[in-house]
Amino acid sequence: MIEEFIKGNKSFIENDFEKDPARYDALASSQSPKALWIGCADSRIEPERITDADAGELFVHRNIANIVPVGDWNFAAVLEYAVAHLRVPGIVICGHSDCGGIKALDKEMDDAYIPLWIDNAREAKRRVDARMAAPTTPEEAKNRLTEMEKENIRLQIEHLRTYPIVKKAEADKKVEIYGVYYDLATGLLEEVQ
């Protein structure tokens, strides 16, 4: 398996890196990303690819179900670095269709860690279930899942705003927060309000 990655890296060097040495030389010494991108770890979603962003434009944090955990040191360190040191002007939370993490909210699981992690999105499920009837058809189930995925984006924005560094940066108009939803079937990225 690793041979494939090494071979792919050689292709990257030949077809991209060596064709723009000045750009990569600049990136070797600094970065000035446009946004902190908080997305799902799902292998089907590549933030740079779906936004046509170049290397250095996105500071990326990915995890199952694009969660912004409250009080998580790993996440807090990424957030602090992005806001205080990189001074990103934007923070984007990107959810997506067919999210396994959001689907897991409806399942009993024997896993040790996934249920604990997914619990950070449980309120999104509660909100959707409070406003939608239980699905009775596959289409209704799909619509409910989409609503839960989008509600999770809104919930994670709420979680993001509990961090003092974000509160201050937003109050000082130094950062804007966005929620976006990516549809795997169409490739469309849309803003979520």
How far does Cα 139 stand from its chain's mean position? 26
Tell me: is residue 99 an annotated ligand-binding position: yes
Among 42, 61, 94, 159, the active-site one is 42
Q: Is 40 noted as a catalytic residue in this protein?
A: yes
The catalytic residue among 20, 23, 25, 44 is 44
User: Considering 40, 61, 94, 159, which one is annotated as catalytic?
Assistant: 40
96 is catalytic: yes
Which of 61, 94, 99, 159 is the catalytic position?
Answer: 99
Residue 183 bears catalytic tag: no
| Cα 119 from Cα 20, distance rounded (Å) | 44
44 is catalytic: yes
159 belongs to an annotated ligand binding site:
no
The HSE-up count of residue 183 (CA atoms within 13 Å, CB side) is 12
Tell me which of 61, 96, 144, 159 is the catalytic residue: 96
CA distances (Å), origin 171, targets 46, 70, 83, 123, 174: 31, 20, 13, 26, 8
Q: Cα 36–64–75 angle (5° rounding)?
A: 45
Is residue 94 part of the annotated active site? The answer reads no
Residues near 118 by beta carbon (within 8 Å), at least 6 away in sequence? 64, 65, 67, 101, 104, 105
**Residue 73 near residue 120 (C-beta atoms within 8 A):** no
Is 94 part of any known ligand binding site? no
Q: What is the DSSP letter of 173?
A: T
User: Distance between CA 49 and CA 56 in Å, rounded?
Assistant: 13
Binding residues: 40, 96, 99
**Which residues are known to be catalytic?**
40, 42, 44, 96, 99
- Can you say which residues are annotated as belonging to the binding site for Zn(2+)? 40, 96, 99
